[in-house]
Amino acid sequence: MEYVRTDETRFENLPGYTFEAHYVEVPDTQGGTLRMHYVDEGEGDVVLCLHGQPSWSYLYRKMIPLLVQGGCRVIAPDFIGFGKSDKPTSRDDYTYANHVAWLTALLEALDLSGITLFCQDWGGLIGLRTAAENPERFARIVPANTGLPDAQGIADDQIAPVSERMRAYYESIPVPADEVEMSVAMAGDDTGMGFLHWVKFCAESEGFVPGRVLGASCGGALSADEVRAYDAPFPDENHKAGPRKFPTLVPIIPDNPAIPANRAAWAEFERWEKPVLTAYGDSDPVTAGAHVRFQERVPGARGQAHVTIEGAGHFLQEQAPEQLAQVVLGFIADTPRESRED
């Protein structure tokens, strides 16, 4: 598998990100290996913090010290294609199954157990699948602004026509020039397929700049140096295959090859007794309402003190890091493993 590795100098002097770099070699699924980066700070209960797209472990720079101070060991990896991890140059190398395999390889290499999973955006799509397929390693889960799509509610005889209609609609969408044009088009779309504007933008627009996307999504709250930090892993197009491909992999089109595995994961979660606590922002246009399925379908989520983060949009780790860290620490304290069987 051909890949590039971002020059280390691009990660120098990033505000708030002073963590020691750790690496593990994971199988690339083609007979070779890839170097996967992760932050490993503190001691105690393991909290696995998984980022989404187009971010990287920099997203957790404000939460990590707080969780460490609270007595936790924080593992915050960069998915393959992101952050300090290696970046395959072909988009075809990025599949949902490969991402799950790469994360699983990291957990096995570090032999992590008793994990509290905190997952947002694609961190949930990958992390939840990984938890469902390796339940013995996980103690509790905090989904935050994420989901596990599986074409729920679409009858078998509708899969082909709905898929054809969605692909035709995607082809009809003009390529957005930048994130502003994309956001306007997405907000004004009343077809139920508005997410495809985001897919189109990431896959095809020359105006796709990860740092700028984060800056816009956080309402201008990021400094110029923080925007630069989000751009650091991606100096040119050769390094962007991962973030460009992620939205295309979201299994919203019902014939997506990942849907059977996601349905199997949901079958596991529908008998999942370990604690699950949702923590969603009240201003996220991407995952609004996704928390309901966890609360209603997962046994371990019933009776939990689920949290709504007021005023937080999609990247709630930027907007409410202190509150989120306290939510995680309180959840761990309230659900000790000694009092139940995992």
pTM value is 0.97
Torsion angle (degrees, nearest 10) of CA 260, 266, 267, 271: 170
Write down the CATH superfamily of domain 3-153+258-339: Alpha/Beta hydrolase fold, catalytic domain (3.40.50.1820)
Residue of 45, 231, 284, 291 marked active site:
284
Q: Give the CA count within 13 Å in the CB-facing half-sphere of 128.
A: 32
- For residue 63, what are the contacts with CB-CB under 8 A and spacing of at least 6? 49, 74, 317, 321, 324, 325, 328
Catalytic status, residue 314: yes
Q: How high is the pLDDT of residue 220?
A: 87
DSSP letter string, 44-97: SEEEEEE--SS--GGGGTTHHHHHHHTTEEEEEEPPTTSTTS-EES-GGG--HH
Q: Taking the domains of the chain in order of start, what are their residue ranges?
A: 3-153+258-339, 156-249
Write the pLDDT tens digit of every residue in 118-161.
Answer: 999 999 999 999 999 999 999 999 999 999 999 999 999 999 99
Residue of 121, 150, 197, 291 marked active site:
121
Distance of CA 101 to the CA centre of its chain: 15
Catalytic status, residue 284: yes
Catalytic status, residue 121: yes
Write the pLDDT tens digit of every residue in 235-278.
Answer: 999 999 999 999 999 999 999 999 999 999 999 999 999 999 99
Write the pLDDT tens digit of every residue in 226-243.
Answer: 999 999 999 999 999 999
